Structure 1
Amino acid sequence: MTVQPTLDGTIPTPRAQQRIDDYETWAALIRPTFIEVAATGQPFLFWKVAREHQLPDPPDRDHDWGRFAAALHKDGITRTDGYGQTRDKSAVRRWRGTAAAQKGLVA
């Protein structure tokens, strides 16, 4: 595989291209990353965390991100914190870790 250098001359790390065929395996793989992000107490957008941490795409990209966000919310790890923008400037929910997540009481 050929990797094109970025404009500043650095070579980007190849994104994890492993194909995960079931939601549960995918969710278990990415969940620790989102627990770490929630523990910071800083607001975040799911797409930015996925991009910054080079997380793999879910099996059903159109639905699984929302399903995963709802699961973290239901488990008391995240709470809504307004709205942010996607790369195409459409609105998406912004999230923040709950007090319990910030204290490490939920996982």
Structure 2
Amino acid sequence: MNTPLPVATNAQIAHDTWVAAVRPAFEHRAAQPGEWTTWDVTREYRLPEPPDPTHHWGGLMTVLLHEGVIEPTGWTPTRRTGSRAPVRTWRGTTTHTTRRRKKTT
């Protein structure tokens, strides 16, 4: 019996391509000491905007959180122009930082 494979939509392909492009920057930043926001990493690494900025930034951070790469540390006002809304601050987990250091030595 032939079961058809799911077909990826253009939006899904665009999202997956975006994640593949930006995730390494967040993993690298998570291996460094200190707290940061998504916006800080976006600016520092000159990352592209996702196909759906309203949802994809938070979705990526949730994935990294559930995978144990990052952990929340608090809230701070956003640095984006025109808003002072609170945004989450993050840091890399000890487990991720240790694992990353072992890979590079």
1:63 counterpart (55, 62, 69)? 55
Question: Contact between 1:82 and 1:94, CA under 8 Å: does it hold in 2?
Answer: yes
**Aligned residue number for residue 91 of structure 2:** 96
The Cα offsets for residues 33-72 of structure 1, whole Å up to 9 and x where unpaired, read as 1111000131110011101211000011110000000010
> Given the two structures, how large is their TM-score scaled by the length of structure 2?
0.75
Q: Tell me, in whole angstroms, the C-alpha distance in 1 between the residues paired with 2:99 and 2:20.
A: 18
Greater C-alpha radius of gyration: 2
Deviation of 1:82 (Å): 0.5
> What does residue range 1-107 of structure 1 map to in structure 2 within 5 Å?
22-87=14-79, 88-104=83-99
Unaligned 5+ runs, structure 2: 1-12, 101-105
Fraction of identical pairs, as percent: 36
> Given the two structures, how large is their TM-score scaled by the length of structure 1?
0.74
- How many residues align? The count is 85
Cα RMSD of the aligned pairs, angstroms, is: 1.3
Deviation of 1:89 (Å): 1.7
Question: Contact between 1:83 and 1:93, CA under 8 Å: does it hold in 2?
Answer: yes
Runs of 4+ in 1 over 2 A off after TM superposition: none
